[in-house]
């Protein structure tokens, strides 16, 4: 029997796959250091936990409108006004089962067979697969290391064809941590305007910004940018709520309605209890966010210094998110225990076997000579993980 040819071409999420494998090894008693998935190690703040318990007790355990409850849409509009200087009304908001579902919904809402979506390379693993699932075609624009792998005007322009429908932007970026300046966002907005393209702006890491100026949403640059942008955000990272599965999107009523139509037939509403918890996350005390971000910055600084202190590995200093891309070029071609390291997948697999450290191969993000390390774990775990990684490369250099 031939199953779906389309799904047959979809790779599973490598970030989730490796993390699950490493967690299983750990549960079986292996001393594994997991620097894999981007999942903050902090507990969800107590005020948010309590709001969920109250929601259950109050009987908020039924279906809600498919696109989410009105109170939460209002809170999301207030958040956009407060943090991003963006004015949305509730009819321009959809709440979904994670930002991942928002991204899936938006591609289904806007793409027809063969429509192209430009994505920056390296890219987060799910973008190409979600585009393909919606019959679209991912078009990769490679960034250069000296420009933190960000879009550059010339290469972005060159990638546009009559089939281009949208440009995907992810700032702060997973996996590079790069943050776009206002000027860089302006050239992207101009290109989108000139070619009448939709901008999908994934801003899920907006709070993980280690510089002095706030992240800018491209939608806030002009009325035109506002009208053509769908902003994606969520609470998984900012409030350490990965398992609660709430994300949200804002954009034109027309696109949001299409997204809602898709969602109403697939998952229907996102979890009702989690929606009430997120109401507290957005409206309540925000102090936990700053405390968490401060620790992330210390972790980043430690790793960058350690990785660049040897002559085998190297990395850039990311401005945001909680990932480090480590250049493993000098390890490619080495033979380790009879196995040749041909790419980052081989490197990660040998590192896991030999030193019991789980990191994600850059191949999953479209770059073979890098691995991605997540520092959403304790400093103690990071120190042990880095020690093992350096031991591994020094042994086999």
d(CA 101, CA 245): 9
Distances in whole angstroms, Cα of residue 27 to Cα of each of 18, 20, 353: 14, 10, 16
- Residue in this structure with the two tokens 């599973």, named with its chain if needed: 12
DSSP, collapsed to helix, strand or coil, labels residue 314 as: strand
- Helix (H), strand (E) at residue 127: helix 126-133
Map tokens 């076997």 to a residue: 353
- What is the greatest pairwise CA distance in the chain? 62
Task: Give SS3 for 4.
Answer: coil
16 binds ligand GLU (CB under 6 A): yes
Query: Where in 116-145 is the site for ligand GLU (CB under 6 A)?
Result: 124-126
Q: Which is nearer to ligand GLU, 13 or 283 (CB)?
A: 13
Asked if 13 interacts with ligand GLU (CB under 6 A), we say yes
Q: Which of 245, 280, 219 is nearest to 92 (CA)?
A: 219
Return the one option of ligand GLU, ligand PMP, none that residue 202 interacts with (CB less than 5 to 8 A, by type): ligand PMP
**Using rule CB under 6 A, residue 38 touches ligand GLU:** yes
Q: How far is the CB of 242 from ligand PMP (least distance, A)?
A: 5
Nearer to ligand GLU, 86 or 125 (CB): 125
Token reading at 168: 């995907």
Q: How far is the CB of 327 from ligand PMP (least distance, A)?
A: 21
Q: Minimum distance from CB of 13 to ligand GLU (Å)?
A: 5
Nearer residue to ligand PMP within complex by CB, 215 or 393: 215
174 binds ligand GLU (CB under 6 A): yes
* Comparison of 251 and 331: residue with beta carbon closer to ligand PMP: 251
Neighbouring-strand partners of residue 325: 372
Residue with tokens 């996102």: 270
CA nearest to 77, candidates 228, 242, 233, 199: 233
Cis peptide before 183 (omega within 30 of 0): no
* Angle in degrees, CA 237, 42, 284, rounded to 5: 65
Binding site residues, ligand PMP, CB under 6 A: 38, 98-100, 124, 170, 174, 202, 204, 234, 236, 242, 247
Q: Kindly write out the interface string for residues 299-328 of this chain, putting x where it contacts ligand GLU by CB under 6 A and - elsewhere.
A: ------------------------------
Span 348-377, contacts to ligand GLU by CB under 6 A: none
48 binds ligand GLU (CB under 6 A): no
Question: CB of residue 63 vs ligand GLU: minimum separation in angstroms?
Answer: 26
Name the minimum Å distance from CB 254 to ligand GLU: 28
The three-class DSSP label of residue 397 is coil
The secondary structure of residue 209, as a DSSP letter, is B
Smallest distance from ligand GLU to CB 16, Å: 5
Contact partner, 13, from ligand GLU, ligand PMP, none, Cβ < 5-8 Å per class: ligand GLU
Q: Which is nearer to ligand PMP, 100 or 356 (CB)?
A: 100
Nearer to ligand GLU, 51 or 278 (CB): 278
Which residues are CB-neighbours of 119 under 8 A, at least 6 positions away? 127, 128, 131, 138, 139, 140, 141, 168
Which of 11-19, 41-49, 60-68, 332-340 is the region at the interface with ligand GLU (rule: CB under 6 A)?
11-19
DSSP-derived letter for residue 369 is: T
| Shortest Cβ 228–ligand GLU spacing (Å) | 25
Least distance from ligand GLU to the Cβ atom of residue 242, Å: 7
* Alpha-carbon gap, residue 308 to 364, rounded angstroms: 23
In the complex with ligand GLU, which residue's Cβ is closer, 37 or 351? 37
β-pairing, 247-250 with 314-315?
unpaired
In the complex with ligand GLU, which residue's Cβ is closer, 11 or 268?
11
Q: Which of 18, 33, 37, 131 binds ligand GLU (CB under 6 A)?
A: 37
Scanning the structure block, which residue is given the tokens 């997948």? 345
Q: Which stretches of the chain bind ligand GLU, using CB under 6 A?
A: 13, 15-16, 37-38, 124-126, 174
């Amino acid at each position: 029997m031939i199953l779906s040819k389309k799904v047959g071409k979809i790779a599973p999420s490598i970030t989730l796959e490796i993390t699950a494998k490493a967690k299983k090894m750990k549960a079986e008693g292996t001393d594994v250091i997991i620097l894999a998935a981007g999942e903050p190690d902090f507990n969800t703040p107590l005020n948010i936990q309590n709001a969920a318990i109250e929601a259950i007790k109050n009987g908020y355990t039924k279906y809600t409108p498919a696109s989410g409850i009105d109170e939460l849409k209002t809170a999301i509009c207030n958040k956009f006004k407060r943090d991003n200087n963006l004015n949305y009304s509730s009819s321009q908001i959809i709440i979904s089962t994670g930002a991942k579902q928002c991204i899936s919904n938006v591609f289904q809402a806007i793409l027809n067979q063969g429509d192209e979506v430009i994505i920056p390379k390296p890219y987060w693993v799910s973008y190409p697969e979600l585009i393909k699932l919606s019959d679209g075609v991912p078009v990769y624009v490679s960034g250069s290391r000296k420009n933190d792998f960000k879009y550059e005007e010339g290469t972005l322009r060159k990638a546009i064809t009559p089939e281009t429908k949208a440009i995907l932007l992810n700032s702060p970026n997973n996996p590079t941590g790069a943050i776009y300046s206002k000027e860089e966002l302006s050239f992207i907005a101009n290109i989108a305007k000139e070619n009448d393209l939709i901008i999908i702006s994934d801003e899920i890491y907006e709070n993980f910004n280690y510089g002095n100026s706030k992240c800018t949403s491209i939608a806030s640059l002009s009325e035109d940018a506002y009208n053509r942008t769908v902003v994606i955000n969520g609470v998984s990272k900012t409030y350490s709520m990965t398992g609660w599965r709430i994300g949200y999107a804002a954009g034109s009523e027309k696109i949001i309605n299409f997204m809602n139509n898709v969602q109403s037939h697939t998952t229907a509403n996102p979890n009702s209890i989690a929606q009430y918890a997120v109401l507290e996350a957005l409206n309540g005390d925000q102090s936990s966010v700053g405390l968490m971000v401060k620790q992330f910055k210390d972790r980043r600084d430690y790793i960058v210094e350690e990785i660049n202190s040897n002559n085998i590995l190297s990395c850039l200093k990311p401005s945001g998110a909680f990932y480090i891309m480590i250049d493993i070029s000098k390890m490619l071609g080495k033979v380790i225990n009879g196995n040749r390291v041909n790419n980052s997948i081989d490197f990660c697999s040998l590192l896991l076997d030999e030193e019991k450290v789980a990191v994600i191969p850059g191949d999953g993000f479209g770059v073979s000579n890098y691995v991605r390390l997540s520092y959403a774990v304790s400093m103690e775990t990071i120190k042990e993980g880095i020690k093992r990684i350096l031991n591994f490369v020094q042994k086999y250099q």
